[in-house]
Amino acid sequence: MSTLLPPSRARSGDVRLAYEAAGEAGDVVLFIHGLAYDRAGWGPGPLLLADEFRIVLFDNRGVGESDAPPGPYSVPQMAEDAVAVLDAVGAERAHVVGVSLGGYVAQELAVTRPERVDKLVLLSTAVAAGEGALPMPERGLDGLTRFPQLPREEGLRLLVENSLGDHAVRERPELVDEVYRYRLDHAPPLEAWAAQAAAGAGFQHTSRPIEEIGAPTLVLHGGADAIVDPRNGELLAQRIPNARLETFPDRGHLAMWQEPEWFASQLREFLA
């Protein structure tokens, strides 16, 4: 399996963005992560594709080794950051994979810069709030509401268990511990977390209707997602032309980390 090259920097206005790449052949696949996760937060799935594609992972503004300017951030702003990373790696076009908040960013990128997006993969995400998205399940909302008031370790543990879901907590406690250790080591400052959260909360509409997305689209969702209601995946697949939906029953919001082989196989088949 290929390994990541040393990190590099892209520039989006005054903001420096850290990114890494793996693989030297094939189409570029840009991965855009969600709230408070940096480029190390995908699990092994992306590197399973690096023998066939050129994989690009980056830290959104506010996390990892990227700059964390004062917030709030916005989804259009973060989409321009993604364009800056594509420019930095010399990719005029790429397949774009977005998870959760990164799925919002990927949708915005597809409607504002369609010339940069070949195929689109949306994982554990939703249509914009103003477009009829179903609300966050009660369990996820409770966790996000309590998190800022809890001791750091307790709050992160709660977020991890909610994101992975009951199947992982019950059947794969070692995975829960792995993701928890990652969160402890990589969690951004609370101010940066809030700045990214504001981007998600403020995402009411894409700049143009998602019905105008021309890129072939694959929607992936865990059937037991406690952060983004899985029915939002159905809405995305209905609203975006030339889109199809694949689900993994009993898996949670971090389905790509729970089932990396499934995640990689879905992408490999779709992007081929």
Among 107, 116, 105, CA closest to 81? 105
Determine the Cα angle at 210 with ends 56 and 164, to 5°: 55
Largest CA distance in the chain: 47
Tokens of 140: 């996820």
For residues 62 and 33, give the distance between their C-alpha atoms in angstroms, rounded to a whole number: 12
Residue indicated by tokens 């072939």: 216
Say if CB 55 and CB 47 are below 8 A apart.
yes
Q: Does the 8-271 domain belong in CATH 3.40.50.1820?
A: yes
pLDDT score at 147:
86
For residues 86 and 92, give the distance between their C-alpha atoms in angstroms, rounded to a whole number: 7
What does each of the 272 residues of the chain score in pLDDT, given as a tens digit?
566 767 899 999 999 999 999 997 899 999 999 999 999 999 999 999 999 999 999 999 999 999 999 999 999 999 999 999 999 999 999 999 999 999 999 999 999 999 999 999 999 999 999 999 999 999 989 988 898 889 999 999 999 999 999 999 999 999 999 999 999 999 999 999 999 999 999 999 999 999 999 999 999 999 999 999 999 999 999 999 999 999 999 999 999 999 999 999 999 999 98
Residue indicated by tokens 């369609």: 114
Q: Which residues lie closer than 8 Å to 24 by C-beta, 6 or more apart?
A: 54
By three-state DSSP, how is residue 247 classified? strand
Residue 31's alpha-carbon distances to 55, 79, 241, in angstroms, are 8, 12, 22
For residues 119 and 145, give the distance between their C-alpha atoms in angstroms, rounded to a whole number: 35
Residue indicated by tokens 């066939």: 52
For residues 173 and 27, give the distance between their C-alpha atoms in angstroms, rounded to a whole number: 36
Domain boundaries, the chain: 8-271
